[in-house]
Amino acid sequence: MKIAVAGTGYVGLVTGVCLAEHKHFVTCVDIDDKKVALMKAGISPIYEPGLEELLAKNIERLNFSTEYKEAYKDADVIFIGVGTPEKQDGSANLSYVYGVVEQIAGSIEKDCVVVVKSTVPIGTNDKIEEMIKSRLVHDVNVYVASNPEFLAQGTAVRDTLHASRIVIGVEEPYAGEVLKEVYKDFDAPIVVTNRKSAEMIKYASNDFLALKISFINEIANLCEIIGADIEDVAHGMGYDNRIGNRFLNAGIGYGGSCFPKDTKALHWLANFHDNELKTIKAAIDVNENQKLKLIKKSRKYFDSFKGLNVAVLGLTFKPGTDDLREAPTLVNIPIMLEDGANIKAWDPVGVDNFKKIYHDEITYCNTIEDTIKEADVCFIFTEWDEVKEFDLTKYNRLMRKPIILDGRNCYDLISVKKANLTYDSIGRETVNSLEYSLA
């Protein structure tokens, strides 16, 4: 099929490349000339494992353009994959989506299916259909379908090619049949429902996972108080197939482009209809508090960061991505800087993005060793493999005071106890091989 994709972010570009992998001819549209030039050269403008290789492999079936009229006018299917960032009040900003809708209405010259892949509030697809049909320039039939994405950054290519499910929300059988044809070679179950149900499936899925994370973090916080071990607790819980073992890793909260935005958007939508979702509100509150967990722990060892050498391992909200959206570092590092800390930071892919926010205020290092050298305390914010596999004895050898505050539980406590460290993690026993008073 001839397919156009609006937007070349995590959703749009991954969708376009994966559709090309399944032999469709795809034109990806973006307003940024520099991004388009990069993609034409086979270079991905975003960091996502496996994406650039797949892009280069399918370059003959991929086209990248800023000319939306040419891309949309004779496409069989048009996917909308632009961002829907949150507004100040927590609602979704749909201006980018509606901008693309205006372009589509003025450009299409043949019957087509418009597919909304962006995460949008329930009922948005109905509004999009009304907008397109009221603004059509040519006498064509347009069908609007909801087809939410369920990819995670760091595994987006795998999540698309080997999806857990493909959800199709339609009001007419024809649109459903077209999308079944688009996805016929994808090895995934297909769920066909109406548009509002498809939109809700996306929000309900993400918000449930956010709830699960917030729940295990609250249990972890209680484990610290009563002397239980959260990893043993989560392990025991995970054997119950009604619960499962995924998203039971305690830490310093969720971040990224989906969970924070989608929980706030659904909470806002419910309030708009005078129906508060108390569980979602609780997840939002728990997550915001959890992000500061390590700062609170640090007060046991230092009453101030003034003059301290602070090492930061990991800047992104999770491993496998350079995305900083809602990363705990964006909450913690400003507090440290304001308090007078001297910060050295390491991240394998996130430094360039972090430099756009903090260019001169932080020293960026190329190795973990350089980052922790002469440090008074080390904060672990992202569970990169390089961190998890790091030689624990180096903390003692290189740091001025080997105090490790680990927000991702990267190390097992038995190994830590052998390394002569002070190690404070989430929901587990604090290892005090070395004792420190307030400095």
Which residues are catalytically annotated? 258
> Could you tell me whether strands 342-346 and 309-313 are parallel, antiparallel, or unpaired per DSSP bridges?
parallel
Tokens coding 348: 């394998």
195 neighbors 145 (Cβ within 8 angstroms)? yes
What's the number of CA atoms in the CB half-sphere (13 Å) around residue 384? 22
Residues 218, 340: Cα–Cα separation, whole Å: 30
Neighbours of 387 (CB within 10 A): 22
Residues 125, 11: Cα–Cα separation, whole Å: 17
Closest to 108 in 3D by CA, of 137, 133, 129 = 137
79 neighbors 4 (Cβ within 8 angstroms)? yes
Burial of 23 per CB tally in 10 Å (0-12, 13-18, 19+)? exposed
Closest to 121 in 3D by CA, of 100, 93, 102 = 93
CA dihedral 78, 163, 314, 224 (to 10 degrees): 130
Q: Read off φ and ψ for residue 3, nearest 5 degrees.
A: -125, 140
Burial track 255-266 (b if 16+ CB lie within 10 A, e otherwise):
bbbbbbbbbbbb
**Cα first-last separation, the chain:** 66
Residues 1, 24: Cα–Cα separation, whole Å: 5
Tokens coding 117: 């892949």
Listed in order, strand segments (DSSP E) in 230-387 are: 309-313, 342-346, 363-364, 377-380
382 neighbors 314 (Cβ within 8 angstroms)? yes
Instruction: Please give the C-alpha separations between residue 277 and each of 92, 123, 226, 355, in angstroms, as whole numbers.
Output: 17, 18, 30, 38
Residues 368, 308: Cα–Cα separation, whole Å: 18
Neighbours of 348 (CB within 10 A): 19
47 neighbors 84 (Cβ within 8 angstroms)? no
